[in-house]
Structures are given as structure tokens and as C-alpha cells.
Structure 1
């Protein structure tokens, strides 16, 4: 006749349970999980009939506005108040990125009519102010939070980043990742020469940086075989600058 096992005393059993729970939690926390690995938002944009050109193109307008087109997906960065963009440029915009919390375009774009309800990515602290001015399709991001955007077979991963010194910025620094050869850093705040020199180390995957210095746009290209960022050729307003491989791989 089989003798059933004696019941486990309460205190030792409880201790073993707590020890197992503690060990499980330690092992779980040891697994590296970054906030940016799990995007906060996901947006799918209809592909429509838009022409998909290879690689990426960036154009500057006014003092700080940039228009970024990568394989059929168009992002308008910090639209200004000078109205330099044409109606045809605005017609193809899929996403708006506001890197400046003190953005001064509310007087012109406050109703949101110029964007036609397009999604707007901004810092978390500016979302309510934008909504109060009639811009309701706002996706606020804290540092290290991300958003994934798909349009046809083009995929964008946009992540809010710390500044080149590793600090959480007062303005939004963002990495726009379309693929290894088409990763673009956007940073609105003024950077010193030393901070610009840190970009390749702080953002090793970036191939292009859209910066603002002394109220004017500054475009930097990062080459794989160099440790220092190199200025791209002069960027005239409205001039197109091509970057990345045709497939962004």
C-alpha cells in the first residue's frame, strides 16, 4: 500500500514559493527589454497611387522646415510660418513631426486644416496644447517611446531619443529608421561643435542628421568608414538631397 506524501509544512512551503518567485523575477528582469522595442503606436497609411522613388530625398524650406520622402512615405518636419511649401508638396504629406515644443506655427496651422487630419508626432507635453488649437490627431512620445508607420511595403520606425549628450531633451530628438542605409536623426535644439562630434558615437546607426544651427538648417552625413560627421554639400531652400540605397537596406 502506497503511503501518500506528508503535507508540506506551511512556513517551509511558503519560503520555497517566495524563493522561486524571486528567482523568476530576477531572471525576467535580466532579459534586456527596451521601451523602443515595443512601439507605443502603430499607424497604417493607405498606399494609394503615390509614386515610389528609390531611396530617400530631403528638402529644406524656410528656416527649419524639412520635407523627407523615403520610398513613397512623406514626412513634414517642423512646418514654418512662411508658407514656402507648395500645394503639391502639402498634398503628398503622410505624417507631421514637430520637434520643437515652442513651435510658432499655430497661428498659421492652428486649425489643422493645412494638414487635413494627418497624424502629428510631438513631445508628450505639447499634445494638449496642439489639441486645444484644433490639431487632434496627435501622437505624443516620451523619451525612448516609438511609433511604427506603414505605407505599402515601406516601414518607418520613429523613436524619441535623448540628445547627443545622453540627456532627456527639452526638445524632441527623433530617429527615423527606414532601414540600415536610410536612418535619419532629427534634432531641433542648437548643438555645440563638441555635441555634433558626438553624434556618430551616440547614434551609430544614423546615416543623416537634420539639425538647426543659428536659425538655419544644417545637414550632416555619416559615412561608415569615418568617425566624424561630415557636412553634406550646401543645401539650398527647395533643393533635393538624395541619400541611402534604393531599397534602404
Structure 2
């Protein structure tokens, strides 16, 4: 699918991951703005998980859906209420491309969405925007042990490969989806031995005593199996069914000696990274440069002068960097000109937008002042 280009062109050097909450993040790289698993319910709201079961949200999202920047597409791991909620169903643009499972794509079409792309495992959807190409490949996922997986919606992981006009891969991002550790995951590092970033869906979700998402120990096992240069845990502490808190994962990471591989984000925080020119400015170098490391940056909480920062709690008492601060940091990745697909019926151009808790959120503008603190190499 060809997406409308931005006037400033693709930026292959800088990118960012903004953590909204649960499994919802904004990925910005190479001119693309990608939303994952949209969940914008607030603390106290309930989601329906099927078979009469519900779960209560314990946290607020870092921003409300109306405050999203213009979107190019959405990546959806599966159709559960904590991954595609009633707010997303009502307020996302129905023309927004959504890459997901075939099961979810069929359901979304019945709900009026016109551009879902359903994938089987290892199938790929391709998007082009200016000089950049984005390949999204469905990865194996298993939401429950044994035959019980047949009672839950099919789930997929996603591998996002960002390529230059010369078809050189500048960045690989793996999103696990709501999977447990299972044998088919071992095929991922065999096919893709070089993965730069991995977003791990954790939480140790338990329903009727059965674990349905990775807990702390499985999260560490996933890092060892997939071998990403950097891993970021998400999908933790947000709902009552999440029984494995982030602190358990942090303890397991320390015990495994993997501290240098893991970055922790609070709601509203951004992880910025820099990709070496050798991976996207090839000049005939060939594909061996793809194995070179990416330079990540941790963007510290920094608020616009025109907005008041607020905090979000992550369920274990840790405070986020604030809505205004987090969105200010997103500006560092550059959003440029308007894009065709919008997250809400009204266009949100200029001025400020209302975020979670009704606070003012500044507009995204390229060149915004951002405090950047390098955190090492992948």
C-alpha cells in the first residue's frame, strides 16, 4: 500500500517509542507513525474478555485518543478489549489501515473498518511512503496453553522492517503480542538473527488460574531466545488480571544479568534511538552494514513551557513523566506535514489538544526543543 508522503521526507537516522500504556505505543521512524493495540480506557473502566469475564483497569493512559498525532497505520496483535477497546472502535478513523490477524480483520470489517489487512503467520503486509518501505510480518503467537488456545482469539506477534529505497533494512522491531513462550518462537531468531528492538507483552495475565501472557520468567526467556539488542517491557500493571508486576520482571532481569539489554518506560515516556548512517546511507556498501549496532537514546521528561505536565501511575506506584512531557518528547522524532489518516473525526492542526485528565497537550512540530540523554548502544 502506498501512503501519502511527508514533505520533509523519511528520517532514517532518528526514531522513537512512546509508551501510552497497556500494549499501546506510538512508533515513529522513517516518516511512519504507527499505533499499536489501541487501549484508551481509564482507571476504573472495565473490559470484557469473553465468556462473561471482565477486568478493571488500574491506570490511566498517558493520553486520550483525541490527542494522538496523525497516524499512518495500526498494528493489532488480536481482538481483545484491552487491546482494541470501545473507544478505539468508536473514534479511530475507519479508513486507517490495520494490520492484524485474519480473525480480527474479519471482525473489524463487520464493525465498519475499511482497510484491515489480515495475516497468517509469516505473511507480510508492505507499506511505502516516500523513500521508505515498511514490511510487517506476522510472527507466531500462542495466547493459552494447549487446546485452550482455541477458546481465545488468535494472536500474532509482529516484525516491523523499515527499509530504504535501496531495500536495505535500517531497523527491525519485534512486538511479541500476547503470547506465551512456545516452541514456534524459536523460528524467529533463525529467520531474523538481527533484531534491534523488542516490545515484550508481559503481565502474567491469569484467568481462572491459567497464565495467558508472559510473566517475569518467560519475559527473560524471550529475551534470551530472540536476542534483541534492546528490549522494552509493556503490557504490565494496567489491569486486575495482570498478576506478574513489573518489579518481578526487573528482579528476574537482574538475576539473569540482562540489565544492559532492557529499557523501562513509565506511561508518557519516550525512548529515542539513533540509527548509524551505515545502515541507511549505503553508498554501495552492501548488506553487511545491517549487522552494525544502533545507537539508542533515552529522552528525559521535558515539558513545553506552554503546557503543564501531569503524571500517570503505572500500578506499582512509579510515576510517569506526564502527558505534556511525553508528547513534547515525541516531537523530537519529527512529524512534519499532515498525513492522510487521522485518529479522530476532526483534524487536529495547530494549537493544543486535550489529553488524559483534560490537560493541554502541545502540537507536534518538527524541531521542538527536547532534552536528549544517550543511554549507550544496542
TM-score for the superposition, normalised by structure 2? 0.45
Cα distance 1:208–1:151, how it changes in 2: closer, same or farther (>3 A)?
same
Offset at 1:55?
A: 2.9
Contact 1:78 1:96 in 2 (8 A): yes
After alignment, is 136-145 or 52-61 more displaced?
A: 52-61
Structure 1 pair 144–202 and aligned structure 2 pair: CA distance change class (3 A):
closer
Indicate the SS of the match to 1:45. Answer: coil
Q: Secondary structure at the match of 2:105?
A: helix
Query: Residue 79 and residue 70 in structure 1: after superposition, are their counterparts in 2 closer, same or farther (change >3 A)?
Result: same
Structure 2 unmatched runs, 5+: 42-60, 143-148, 164-168, 206-212, 231-256, 281-378
Counterpart check, 1:234 vs 2:264: yes
Moved more, 117-126 or 84-93: 84-93
Name 2:161's counterpart in structure 1. 177
User: Given the alignment, which residue of 217, 222, 236 partners 2:228?
Assistant: 222
Task: State how 1:202-221 maps to structure 2 within 5 Å.
Answer: 203-214=192-203
Shift of 1:192: 4.8
Matches within 5 A, 1:28-39: none
Task: Say how many residue pairs are matched.
Answer: 201
Q: Which is worse superposed, 206-215 or 82-91?
A: 82-91
Relative distance call for 1:84 and 1:158 in structure 2 (3 A) is same
Distance 1:196 1:208, change over 3 A: farther
Instruction: Measure, in 1, the Cα distance between the counterparts of 2:172 and 2:36.
Output: 15
1:58 corresponds to 2:36: no
Deviation (angstroms), 1:137: 1.3
**Is residue 182–residue 243 contact of structure 1 (8 Å, CA) maintained in 2?**
no
Aligned residue runs from structure 1 range 163-174, under 5 A: 163=141, 170-174=154-158
- For residues 72 and 88 of structure 1, what CA distance do their matches in structure 2 show? 21
SS state at 1:131 partner: helix
CA distance in 1, matches of 2:170, 2:35: 20
Over aligned residues, Cα RMSD in angstroms? 3.8
Unmatched 5+ stretches in structure 1: 1-42
Residue 244 of structure 1 deviates from its aligned partner by 4.9
Structure 2 CA distance for partners of 1:185 and 1:89, relative to 1, 3 Å: farther
Secondary structure of the structure 1 residue equivalent to 2:2:
strand
- How many angstroms does 1:195 deviate by? 9.5
Q: Deviations over 1:55-87 (max 9, x none)?
A: 321111111101101121111010113354356
Larger radius of gyration: 1
